[in-house]
Each structure stands twice: as C-alpha cells, then as structure tokens.
Amino acid sequence: MELTRQNRRGIVFNALYKLIPQALLLIAFFAMIICLTLLLSCSNGDDTTGSQGAGIGEVMGSVKDEDGNPYPNTVVKLSTGATFIETKTDSDGNFDFNDVAGGTHEVTISLPLSTEGVTNTSTAINVQDNQTVTVDFVIRPLQVKAHLNFGNVQLLEEIKDENGNTPTDPDEPLYAENIFDEPLGLLTAIKTPDGEHVTLSEFESAQGNLMVHCNGDTSIVEIALEGMIPNGTYTFWLAYLNKTRSVGEPIDFANDFVNFTNPPIGSASGTENIVVATEDGTINTSLQHTSCILTDEVALVIPVLYHINGKTFGGGHVPDPEEMVQMLAYFQ
C-alpha cells in the first residue's frame, strides 16, 4: 500500500515521541554523574597546609635544656609538604601555633648556637579537630673550644715580633700592632703585670673552652682557660655576626659584624666582663648576660682581650696600645 505524505509525517512524529523520553533520561543520568564528581572533588580540595582532615586544632610546646632552663627566641617551624609557618619561643621557652588545619604536620626547631638535640629536633604530629598537640624539645649546650688568636685562626693579625713581622721563634718577645688607632702599625710590647715580656711560647700555651647556658632572658657563660698570662686582666666581648663563619675563615669587619662596636658580656657599661687570671694563668669563672646570647643572632664569636697595662675602658672601644686579642670562641 502506498504511504501518503500525511501518513509518513505521522510515523516520524510517533518515532520521535518515543525517543525523546529516552534521550532525556540519558541526559539526566550524565548530569547526575557530573554533579557527583564535582561534589567529591570539592570535598577533597587542596588546602594551603597540604593534605588535611576536617577541623582546626592547636600545636604548642617548649624548648628547654635538660635542667629545664628555657631558650627564648628559638625558631620553630610548622610545615606540611612545601608550605610552612614559623614562630619563636617566648621568654619561658614556649611556642604556640593556633588555628592549625587538621591532618599531619612536621614540627622542627632550629638549634640555638653550639647546642645539640637531646630529643629529635623534628617530629611528625597529627592534628585533630578541637585538640591540642604538645611537642617539647630538649637540647644540650656544648663546650666551645677557645682558639688562640694567631696563625690560621685570628680576627686581626696584630701579634708581631719587634720588626712588625709574624713571629716564629718560640723565645722571641711579642708585640701588639695598632690596627684601628693612629699611629697605625705602632708596636706595643706585650708584658705581664710584673713587667716580664711575653714570648711566643708563653702566648701559645693558652687553651681551654667556654660553654653558655641560657635561662630565659639571661645567659651564663662558663669559662675554663689555662696558660693565660699570670695575674693578667682580661675582658670578654660579644662579636655578633650576621652570617656563619667557620673557625679560621676570614671575617669582613665592614659587613659581617652586627654591631660597629662589639658589646661586652654583662652590663653595657663594661663593668661585668672583667676577669683576672690566677698566678698560674688559669681562669675558672662564669659571667652573666641579660639575654640568651645563643639565639640573639645568626652567629657569635667571643673574643678574649688581654689588657696590657691592666686598665679597662668600659663598654666602648679599647685603645689599640692597651689590649690584644688572645683567644677566640666561635659559637655556630
């Protein structure tokens, strides 16, 4: 039977009528899959602190030595992956990170100068919602060798023979050369308080170590030296550096020092950094300073000055003809 044009149009409309609901169902199905995918992606979205769980917590702790003495200004880092935040301990040695995203993190301290960790200096933690994680670090101060200011280890080449050259003969008498004050190059005989001229061998007999303990906003500098000039008057100073320098590495006076004039240990007046050696040339004492000198700056050298005429000059510049640096202790 031949189909008329009207009949053919009816067949097409009937077919489309049956297909449209099926197409709508397919579109709705795919739309639902897309929405579910987006929801899952949002719930697992990236966090600035890394892969985290739900909620906000707190991380707190302390940095102290084995005797419980706190170390202020110690840098503490809280990190997750490549992101991190930093804080410093307060005067009680405590630190606190608030509003920490839940999940796994790493807490790390930068050791104060010339100390070592008794506990690990880095530890992994897991922060839970509305919970506080406590991390206490324990450190130990180390003895620091006092190096003779001569040969490969010296801030200034001020120890000379009578001709202004570097001495080599153990029995030759020593002189201190003017480095800063006029007339530059002036040689001053290095003598003991009783007038004996110090020889190279006597000068080189000096040795010992220093150790620093912090306790909040104070430091105790323990000094144990021998072979110093008998009955000699000495002062101890804080040569802070803005970068680390290895023992014997040259120091740029114009750029490496934090202070133009190095402050004394103790009072700024220079009345508390004075020590007199015993008759046999030993120094066993301690000095106190009003800050934790192990966390004040990036690095520290403690110069030990011998005062040739026994006089001291307060907290400022000591005239070249009156002193020479005998020992250096590097705190790194």
DSSP string, 267-291: -TTSSSSEEE--TTS-EEEEEEESS
| Torsion sign (Cα): 255, 181, 330, 268 | negative
Distance, CA of 237 to CA of 270 (rounded, Å): 9
Provide the whole-model pTM.
Answer: 0.82
- Predicted local confidence at residue 53, as pLDDT: 52
Distance, CA of 222 to CA of 192 (rounded, Å): 24
Is the Cβ–Cβ distance between 320 and 181 less than 8 Å?
yes
- Predicted local confidence at residue 23, as pLDDT: 47
Distance, CA of 112 to CA of 264 (rounded, Å): 20
Is the Cβ–Cβ distance between 269 and 298 less than 8 Å?
no
- Predicted local confidence at residue 54, as pLDDT: 63
Q: Is 241 exposed, middle or buried (0-12, 13-18, 19+ CB in 10 A)?
A: buried
- Predicted local confidence at residue 22, as pLDDT: 54
| Torsion sign (Cα): 249, 255, 258, 264 | positive
Scanning the structure block, which residue is given the tokens 């006597």?
A: 202
pLDDT values of the chain reduced to their tens digit, one per residue, 332 residues: 344 444 444 443 344 344 445 544 444 445 555 444 444 443 333 343 444 456 999 999 999 999 999 999 999 999 999 999 999 999 999 999 999 999 999 999 999 999 999 999 999 999 999 999 999 999 999 999 999 999 988 887 899 999 999 999 999 999 999 998 999 999 999 999 999 999 999 999 999 999 999 999 999 999 999 999 999 999 999 999 999 988 988 888 889 999 989 999 999 999 999 999 999 999 999 999 999 999 999 999 999 999 999 999 899 888 999 999 999 999 99
- Predicted local confidence at residue 317, as pLDDT: 86
DSSP string, 52-92: EEEEEEEEEEEEEETT--B-TT-EEEEEETTEEEEEE--TT
